[in-house]
A = this chain, B = another copy of it.
């Protein structure tokens, strides 16, 4: 899928799988094995957020597009994220200890340096998944369900599983425990791309699930800075596409795209789990589909990333493999 060149030598290479799927669930184009079973990790947060909207919980608690974008986010823990998450759970009458995602040192430099300078420990709302967990907590409150909302048999996770199987069109064969302690359901690349094509074509349909899907994808495109953070691929590439696609990264080399104007969904998995390669591959596919400009600065940064060393010298490049372009 992608190659790292240093001088005249191919130094490292990443293989993987990718699928472009249309709104009938059919594969338009595939690389590698479209039937490979993977964990989508955080790339499927918009699926996990579906029951929050379809249940009526989002409307009952007055969630707006910012809340919905955060529910689909893997954020940097910057103030723009944590301030909103704190206000959200405060409004639910909950506190940091009600989260089950665990504390995480924020990736956002200002937030991280601020904690270090004041000798503070990070909280659970700093966790990159705290928006998703706020969504889980909101749904649990709406359902009147118990506090251990990341347990596999909790109604919140069972609702997430139902949404996952409905949108992927597959019975999930297994699940793993994610970095944030929530179950992460497995599917094929094809299933994940099918789900994203279903999101991409949601505006064509008027059922409750589709209306919820359209709201979630639109919220992501409206607030790219809330879905990840300054400098991150999701944020910068969504800004570059300016509402033409919603995209989302997942740990271990996963990336998805929802492209409403083409009714297409994309799923990428780098076999070795490397983020730099997933960012490069999804960029190349989005350029190939004509929704991302090849010469946009964000594209150059993630699709043809120069490798600058500690003196700023250009020592190499990460670029898509020939098969991908």
Residues in chain A within 8 A of chain B (CB atoms): 4, 6-9, 11-15, 37-39, 100-104, 113, 116-117, 127, 174-181, 186, 252-253, 270-274, 277, 309-313, 315-316
Q: Specify which of B9, B186, B277 is in contact with A39 (CB 8 Å cutoff).
A: B9
Q: Please name all residues of chain B whose beta carbon is closer than 8 Å to the beta carbon of A14 when the two chains form the complex.
A: 272
- Min CB distance A115 to B, Å, is 10
Determine whether the beta carbon of A309 is less than 8 Å from that of B179. Answer: yes
Q: Please name all residues of chain B whose beta carbon is closer than 8 Å to the beta carbon of A274 when the two chains form the complex.
A: 272-274
Determine whether the beta carbon of B9 is less than 8 Å from that of A176. Answer: yes
* Alpha-carbon distance A52/B259, docked complex (angstroms): 58
Determine whether the beta carbon of A38 is less than 8 Å from that of B11. Answer: yes
- Min CB distance A39 to B, Å, is 6
Q: Specify which of B7, B38, B102 is in contact with A177 (CB 8 Å cutoff).
A: B7
State the number of copies, please.
2
* Alpha-carbon distance A107/B235, docked complex (angstroms): 27
Determine whether the beta carbon of A178 is less than 8 Å from that of B272. Answer: no
The contact sample of 18 A-B pairs, CB cut-off 8 A, is A4-B252, A6-B176, A6-B177, A9-B37, A11-B39, A12-B271, A13-B271, A102-B310, A102-B312, A113-B116, A127-B310, A178-B309, A178-B315, A179-B309, A179-B310, A181-B310, A181-B311, A272-B274
Q: Please name all residues of chain B whose beta carbon is closer than 8 Å to the beta carbon of A313 when the two chains form the complex.
A: 177, 181
- Min CB distance A105 to B, Å, is 10
4 smallest CB-CB distances across A and B, nearest first, come from: A102-B310, A12-B273, A7-B176, A6-B176
- Min CB distance A262 to B, Å, is 30
Residue of B nearest to A105 (CB): B310
- Min CB distance A149 to B, Å, is 13
Given A7-B177, A11-B176, A178-B309, 5 additional A-B pairs, CB 8 A: A6-B176, A7-B175, A9-B176, A14-B272, A272-B272
Residue of B nearest to A124 (CB): B310
Q: Please name all residues of chain B whose beta carbon is closer than 8 Å to the beta carbon of A186 when the two chains form the complex.
A: 9
Q: Please name all residues of chain B whose beta carbon is closer than 8 Å to the beta carbon of A270 when the two chains form the complex.
A: 12
Q: Please name all residues of chain B whose beta carbon is closer than 8 Å to the beta carbon of A103 when the two chains form the complex.
A: 310
Determine whether the beta carbon of B113 is less than 8 Å from that of A6. Answer: no
* Alpha-carbon distance A4/B253, docked complex (angstroms): 13
Q: Please name all residues of chain B whose beta carbon is closer than 8 Å to the beta carbon of A315 when the two chains form the complex.
A: 176-179
Determine whether the beta carbon of B252 is less than 8 Å from that of A11. Answer: yes
- Min CB distance A203 to B, Å, is 33
* Alpha-carbon distance A104/B270, docked complex (angstroms): 29
- Min CB distance A248 to B, Å, is 18
* Alpha-carbon distance A11/B176, docked complex (angstroms): 10
Q: Please name all residues of chain B whose beta carbon is closer than 8 Å to the beta carbon of A113 when the two chains form the complex.
A: 116
- Min CB distance A186 to B, Å, is 6
- Provided the pairs A6-B39, A7-B175, A117-B116 are in contact, do residues A180 and B309 lie with their beta carbons within 8 angstroms? yes
* Alpha-carbon distance A14/B100, docked complex (angstroms): 31
- Min CB distance A325 to B, Å, is 19
Residue of B nearest to A8 (CB): B174
